[in-house]
Amino acid sequence: MYPCTQCEKCFSSRMALCQHLNIHRGKYKCTECGRCYQSNRHLATHRRSHSGEKPFECTVCGKRFTQAGNLVTHSRIHSGEKPYKCHVCDKAFSESGALNTHMRVHTGDKPYKCSLCNKCFSTSSNLQLHKRHVHSNRRPYHCPYCGKLFKTNIELKSHVRIHTDAKRYSCRHCSHCFRWLVGLKTHLLKSHNEGTWFTCDICQQKFATRGELKLHSRRRHERMKPYVCSECPKRFCTSRELRRHHLVHSDLKRFSCGLCDKSFKHPGTVVKHFQKCAAELGFYSV
């Protein structure tokens, strides 16, 4: 691995590192964030991300963008066009960056390295999520319905669907809608034969996502439980299971009902209570 001395990104070859260093060596530097560019035109385009200027508008949905290229990529959401195809598994993408990221599944390349624990990741977003979940306890986003706290706004938005029953993922082949993306992917695979199954090498069981396959292998075949409770000898397959178990050893009840003064240890308990409480007050029926 060849690490960049200016940021946390790592590369599998010296040539890739040299190409990346142009970002830091460009003579046109942004005064807001310090990012460098090879031309004043590229710097001017970048500055729109700080000023909020978005001159390019989608004629279908009205969404606006800072760059014409971003508008072109966005338009493929409406057209369904996916011109970038993986030569290994035939999976297609609407943008080249998504294909490059996907190829790391086959190559095993993980260019983003955590400066705190040296763990490597295939995307910068996964690195940032890792830092928030593993190295930070800050949870600034709270649910207005049950009071649960989250580290990212994306996690909060995903959680709120439990209360609102919003189903934002719709099938383009039929009228089915889903609350979670994994539900849509599973539906497309089972009902419309669209997508790629992830198959277990040992028992041939199929899964809609790589994460489900990984968890299946850990539970069923590897019998791996890497997360150990600091209070007792119990072990768990996922960090989420360990966090939930920790509530057993604590008297803290940080999940509160937004309609009354009751508090609970587990988020699932407060969700059930909230629905019952709301029905009693006449907001909706259970």
Domain range list for the chain: 152-251
Nearest to 145 by CA among 258, 22, 15: 258
Q: Which fold has domain 152-251?
A: Double Stranded RNA Binding Domain (3.30.160)
pLDDT score for 284: 53
Residue type, 183: G
Question: What does the DSSP 8-state code read for residue 149?
Answer: E
Spell out the residues 6+ positions from residue 64 whose beta carbon is closer than 8 angstroms to its own: 54, 55, 56, 57, 58
Distance CA 121, CA 116 (A): 13
Distance CA 119, CA 151 (A): 20
Helix, coil or strand: residue 57:
strand
Judge contact between 98 and 85, C-beta under 8 A. no
Q: Is the pTM of this model over 0.75?
A: no
Q: Which residues of the chain have pLDDT under 50?
A: 285-286
pLDDT score for 285: 45
